[in-house]
Chains A and B, each alone.
Chain A
């Protein structure tokens, strides 16, 4: 019969205290479908705090998005581009995770994307001198990212999503909105990370543009502090850059 008597947790209590979205989010975030959920008060509170955080992030994004031009800007600056990459990267990953029923993975990507958007909003405000009137390309990218974020968490937390969607100025329901299309070009990573070895021992990683010339890679690798330390201030005898693979320094 009713199992609620044996359970310490009653869904009604959770929904009354925190809301259905918090209960839903927690149930998805804890573990993959084939495993048990470990119910903890701390976990539920964490889920609840995330709903509030999303609400704040979308609120801030709404302020910045007000300056967005109607038409998509022809070009995007570095900050706008970073926002767009985070958004489309999350879109692709969450879509894939939901398709594979890896709900906890989808949830993790939404957390990550939310943090990325939050720091982009901070950067945008900082560059605009603490005011919300960001440049057009940034405002447009923020609006796009906020829309995508709401779309992504809508299946998990549909009430909060509707509230955020309305706050963003949409007159329709997010429940009826079409799934956003991924811009494939934004998914291509244009930086690569190469390991740097000194005398066969790995000392550091160097992050360089994917199309960086060999001498630029060499310079970046030698500038790294752990590499400098390994060389003991002396110039290297030889530096071998294997494109897209590794940097070998011979001391």
Chain B
């Protein structure tokens, strides 16, 4: 036999059949041996597997097969992250129903995965677009709602006026919609939010417990949560300069020590003060409109040219009533960070420095680096952000930054205006609540009914799942659920009067936030998981994922996961797979195929 060639094609099919027939990769929940859970990030059913999948799944399979040989009861499941925009694009472009397209793709990819000989427990296969899966997700949404962890609020979104849809930041290219090419508008939209900020500190603390995660990933997650300690300061406004009777401007700062270096105040374009001032200033109104055309992603804010508009309003320095500062509307201030307003200390913040250099407002250094003569220390075009001693700061002179922060906080806490302290210590997080509403058909319906009399009414548990209708059309832009002739018309569960269903569906990242738990008991009909079984399998012992799109990673990192013990991350095959410019991948999370809407 040693002279014969090994015929892989013949042998591989034969052994796959034998493994399959004997069911040797099925894991049983009542198996008494020690458990080991190997999970690769489940794929989006795009239609084809690529070499990146082959690599990830092979790595996972090596771990699974080795642990199985070592006597563990191994769980190695596979499923499909099956909701999302490519299916709707296919429907628009190729006139195929998203469901049919998705399930065809699943079949094709499953056959491909089987040809790889992976030791997967296919009996646990799940697809997030299956009502038996999303039923539980709807129930969780309602449970969160009852627990006060879901809320409906108005927020700013990128709106494509041609496609009538909300766009993710990465779908806005040079201020235009990625599909329609239309100028994107910033719109206020009422959306559903998961209140993840309620867990900001807990999530941050939990990062320390992820012992085997790469430091790089942990740092990124910390930065994403972005905890900062600072001070809320209420600046009085000079009554002679306001036009609408405003009396003060509240700002959040992490650098109260630099108050004596202040040169200007700035508010976000959608700050109430800006909006009010714009009513009496047409040029300002135009400026605000211009700002709204640009994206609000961190990257765009960082790279965009700093622009401002002087409102003519002046704010009074909290330590010197005779000192007033001009109030600008500026494109680099975000309404949903802090209070949407800042004081600018250009010598010690690069963005503020870029701003004053453009508008000729000057700068005064108030922190002097060690070993530098305070008399000769000047800042020209690079802000000094390091440590040092206070200078040019009256009663703070000579202190360290930490001492100065403490001194400013102490003084402003004691000072009151209208019986309220002028300063208040506050922990601020960069993390924002997670807006989960999408104006899409191919997603998990949000189980809510809107009644004119009763308001927002949860769909009764007994009526779950709220299933997607199959008879929808994609010939027009916008959400097919919204224009469906009957689907959204229902009776109010409370009063029985005519009411309408919520037609938004959930961000597909909700689907992929709990699949690892569902795999522990994927056929359970009565609950998302069986607590005992889930506790026995979780956390995942080995998670394997690929990094594809840095922005997606950032998004996913906004929900640091706590149920994964030991991740390994792999990059997909070759530089051509990296985002433009071969940017190095950082951090955790979503190996989503690019162009995926959320």
Binds A, one of B13-21, B225-233, B423-431, B554-562: B13-21
- Neighbour of B65 across the interface among A16, A38, A158, CB < 8 A: A158
In the complex, what distance in Å separates the CA atom of A143 from the CA atom of B447? 63
Contact residues, B1-55 vs A (CB, 8 A): 1-3, 5-6, 8-9, 11-12, 15-16, 18-19, 22, 24-25, 46-55
| CB-based contact A37/B51 at 8 Å | yes
Query: Is the CB of B61 closer than 8 A to any CB of chain A?
Result: yes
Least distance between A157 CB and chain B CB atoms (Å): 9
In the complex, what distance in Å separates the CA atom of A173 from the CA atom of B71? 15
Query: Is the CB of A218 closer than 8 A to any CB of chain B?
Result: no
- Neighbour of A21 across the interface among B117, B572, B577, CB < 8 A: B117
Binds A, one of B132-140, B153-161, B267-275, B563-571: B563-571
Query: Is the CB of A62 closer than 8 A to any CB of chain B?
Result: yes
Least distance between A176 CB and chain B CB atoms (Å): 6
Q: Known contacts A15-B116, A179-B66; is A7 also within 8 Å of B573 by CB? A: yes
| CB-based contact B576/A7 at 8 Å | yes
Query: Is the CB of B298 closer than 8 A to any CB of chain A?
Result: no
Least distance between A29 CB and chain B CB atoms (Å): 11
Instruction: Specify which chain A residues have a CB less than 8 angstroms from the CB of B12 in the assembled complex.
Output: 19-21, 159
| CB-based contact B54/A179 at 8 Å | no
| CB-based contact B6/A6 at 8 Å | no
Contact residues, B199-236 vs A (CB, 8 A): 214
Query: Is the CB of B115 closer than 8 A to any CB of chain A?
Result: yes
Query: Is the CB of B593 closer than 8 A to any CB of chain A?
Result: yes
Instruction: Specify which chain A residues have a CB less than 8 angstroms from the CB of B59 in the assembled complex.
Output: 27-28, 33, 101, 103
Instruction: Specify which chain A residues have a CB less than 8 angstroms from the CB of B8 in the assembled complex.
Output: 18-22, 51, 159-160
Taking residues whose C-beta sits less than 8 angstroms from the other chain, chain B's interface range is 35 or more
| CB-based contact A155/B117 at 8 Å | no
| CB-based contact A177/B574 at 8 Å | no
In the complex, what distance in Å separates the CA atom of A198 from the CA atom of B278? 89
Query: Is the CB of B70 closer than 8 A to any CB of chain A?
Result: yes
Least distance between B205 CB and chain A CB atoms (Å): 26
Least distance between A222 CB and chain B CB atoms (Å): 46
In the complex, what distance in Å separates the CA atom of A101 from the CA atom of B397? 54
In the complex, what distance in Å separates the CA atom of A110 from the CA atom of B51? 23
Among residues of A, the one whose C-beta sits closest to the C-beta of B19 is: A175
In the complex, what distance in Å separates the CA atom of A36 from the CA atom of B573? 6
In the complex, what distance in Å separates the CA atom of A62 from the CA atom of B3? 13
| CB-based contact A3/B6 at 8 Å | no
| CB-based contact A11/B15 at 8 Å | no
Instruction: Specify which chain A residues have a CB less than 8 angstroms from the CB of B282 in the assembled complex.
Output: none
Instruction: Specify which chain B residues have a CB less than 8 angstroms from the CB of A3 in the assembled complex.
Output: 46, 48, 50, 52, 572, 577, 593-594
Q: Known contacts A2-B47, A28-B58, A175-B19; is A159 also within 8 Å of B63 by CB? A: no
Query: Is the CB of A207 closer than 8 A to any CB of chain B?
Result: no
Query: Is the CB of B112 closer than 8 A to any CB of chain A?
Result: yes
Query: Is the CB of B86 closer than 8 A to any CB of chain A?
Result: yes
Interface residue SS majority, chain A: helix
In the complex, what distance in Å separates the CA atom of A19 from the CA atom of B54? 13
In the complex, what distance in Å separates the CA atom of A176 from the CA atom of B1? 25
| CB-based contact A38/B53 at 8 Å | no
Q: Produce 1/0 per residue, A33-62, CB < 8 A to B.
A: 111111100000000000110011001101
Q: Known contacts A2-B47, A159-B16; is A175 also within 8 Å of B569 by CB? A: no
Instruction: Specify which chain B residues have a CB less than 8 angstroms from the CB of A60 in the assembled complex.
Output: 2
Q: Known contacts A24-B54, A38-B574; is A158 also within 8 Å of B66 by CB? A: no
Query: Is the CB of B456 closer than 8 A to any CB of chain A?
Result: no
| CB-based contact A159/B117 at 8 Å | yes
| CB-based contact A98/B63 at 8 Å | yes
Q: Produce 1/0 per residue, A79-123, CB < 8 A to B.
A: 000000000000000010010010100100000000000000000
| CB-based contact B571/A34 at 8 Å | yes
| CB-based contact B6/A160 at 8 Å | yes
Q: Known contacts A60-B2, A101-B568, A151-B69; is A4 also within 8 Å of B48 by CB? A: yes
| CB-based contact B119/A175 at 8 Å | yes
| CB-based contact A155/B65 at 8 Å | yes
Q: Number of A-B pairs whose CB atoms are under 8 Å? A: 182
Q: Produce 1/0 per residue, B570-592, CB < 8 A to A.
A: 11111111000000000000000
Query: Is the CB of A225 closer than 8 A to any CB of chain B?
Result: no
Q: Known contacts A11-B112, A163-B6; is A39 also within 8 Å of B117 by CB? A: no
Taking residues whose C-beta sits less than 8 angstroms from the other chain, chain A's interface range is 35 or more
| CB-based contact A7/B18 at 8 Å | no
Instruction: Specify which chain A residues have a CB less than 8 angstroms from the CB of B71 in the assembled complex.
Output: 178-179
Query: Is the CB of B455 closer than 8 A to any CB of chain A?
Result: no
Query: Is the CB of A251 closer than 8 A to any CB of chain B?
Result: no
In the complex, what distance in Å separates the CA atom of A50 from the CA atom of B53? 23
| CB-based contact A162/B15 at 8 Å | yes
Query: Is the CB of A133 closer than 8 A to any CB of chain B?
Result: no
Q: Known contacts A20-B115, A23-B54; is A62 also within 8 Å of B1 by CB? A: yes
In the complex, what distance in Å separates the CA atom of A6 from the CA atom of B573? 11
| CB-based contact B19/A163 at 8 Å | no
Contact residues, A173-226 vs B (CB, 8 A): 173, 175-179
Which residue among B19, B58, B61 has the maximum number of chain A CB atoms within 10 Å of its CB?
B58
Query: Is the CB of B536 closer than 8 A to any CB of chain A?
Result: no
| CB-based contact B61/A155 at 8 Å | yes
In the complex, what distance in Å separates the CA atom of A160 from the CA atom of B12? 8
| CB-based contact B9/A19 at 8 Å | yes
Query: Is the CB of A167 closer than 8 A to any CB of chain B?
Result: yes
Which residue among B66, B116, B214, B596 has the maximum number of chain A CB atoms within 10 Å of its CB?
B66
Instruction: Specify which chain B residues have a CB less than 8 angstroms from the CB of A27 in the assembled complex.
Output: 51, 54-55, 58-59
Query: Is the CB of A70 closer than 8 A to any CB of chain B?
Result: no
In the complex, what distance in Å separates the CA atom of A1 from the CA atom of B85? 9
Least distance between A4 CB and chain B CB atoms (Å): 4
Query: Is the CB of B62 closer than 8 A to any CB of chain A?
Result: yes
| CB-based contact B24/A173 at 8 Å | yes
| 10 examples of A-B residue contacts, CB within 8 angstroms | A2-B47, A7-B50, A19-B8, A34-B571, A52-B6, A55-B6, A56-B2, A95-B66, A103-B62, A156-B62
Which A residues lie at the B interface, using CB under 8 A? 1-4, 6-12, 14-16, 18-24, 27-28, 33-39, 51-52, 55-56, 59-60, 62-63, 95, 98, 101, 103, 106, 151, 154-156, 158-160, 162-163, 167, 173, 175-179
A10-B50, A14-B51, A34-B570 provided; 10 other pairs, C-beta below 8 A?
A7-B576, A8-B576, A9-B51, A15-B115, A21-B117, A34-B568, A36-B573, A103-B59, A155-B66, A160-B8
Sorted nearest first, the 6 A-B pairs with minimum C-beta distance are A19-B8, A59-B2, A55-B6, A155-B65, A179-B69, A4-B48
